[in-house]
Amino acid sequence: MKDLKIKDIFVLVLIVVAFVVLLIESSKIGKNIKISDYANFDSKYTGATNQINYIKVTESDIVQKYLADFVNTVQTNREEAYKLIDDYYKEKTFNSISDFNRKMDIISSKLFLDATVTSYSVKYDNKTKYFFIKDAAGNIFVFKEKNIMDYTVYLDTTSIDL
């Protein structure tokens, strides 16, 4: 029983000593730091942080990006590609995703998969922008842009009035 009390007292003394050391060390934090200690810290980053780099994105860049994204989605995930088709166009043209898949199988060729824009035009209607894109395979796509990268797709211009 006497051994137990000695062990308890020893543990208690250790805890008190550790607590006192912790208090002493924590009171030193931040008191001895000088700005000159960090003067060279930011020198290697000057000019590389907190900058805004403006990039001019042309309509040509946009149509190439939209077509490439759509073709890639058609190749990798037909369900997602089907979701990109404009609802009004879907209603007029496709009864189901199976019809969409058949259409994609018909127009899919090496030239389609290259996603090369041969010509394009742009039409503005209220707050909506339409990109009419002709690819190297002769397919015509219409991208109805609401915001940047927020668009729906029409697969031709003959099925609907734009």
Give per-residue pLDDT as tens, 35-83: 554 445 444 555 556 677 788 889 999 999 999 999 999 999 999 999 9
* Count of domains for the chain: 1
Give the range among 12-16, 98-102, 125-129 with minimum mean pLDDT. 12-16
Looking at residue 42, its pLDDT comes to 47
Give whole-number Cα distances, 118 to 46, 109, 133, in Å. 43, 15, 8
Residue 85 has φ and ψ, to the nearest 5°, of -70, 135
pLDDT over 80 at 98, yes or no: yes
Does residue 78 fall inside a structural domain? yes
CA-nearest of 66, 152, 138 to 107 is 138
Report pTM: 0.65
pLDDT over 90 at 8, yes or no: no
Looking at residue 74, its pLDDT comes to 93
Looking at residue 34, its pLDDT comes to 52
Does residue 88 fall inside a structural domain? yes
Q: Please, what is the average pLDDT of the chain?
A: 83
3-class DSSP assignment, residue 145: strand
Does residue 35 fall inside a structural domain? no
Does residue 14 fall inside a structural domain? no
Give the residue numbers spanning the domain of 93.
59-154
Does residue 126 fall inside a structural domain? yes
Does residue 89 fall inside a structural domain? yes
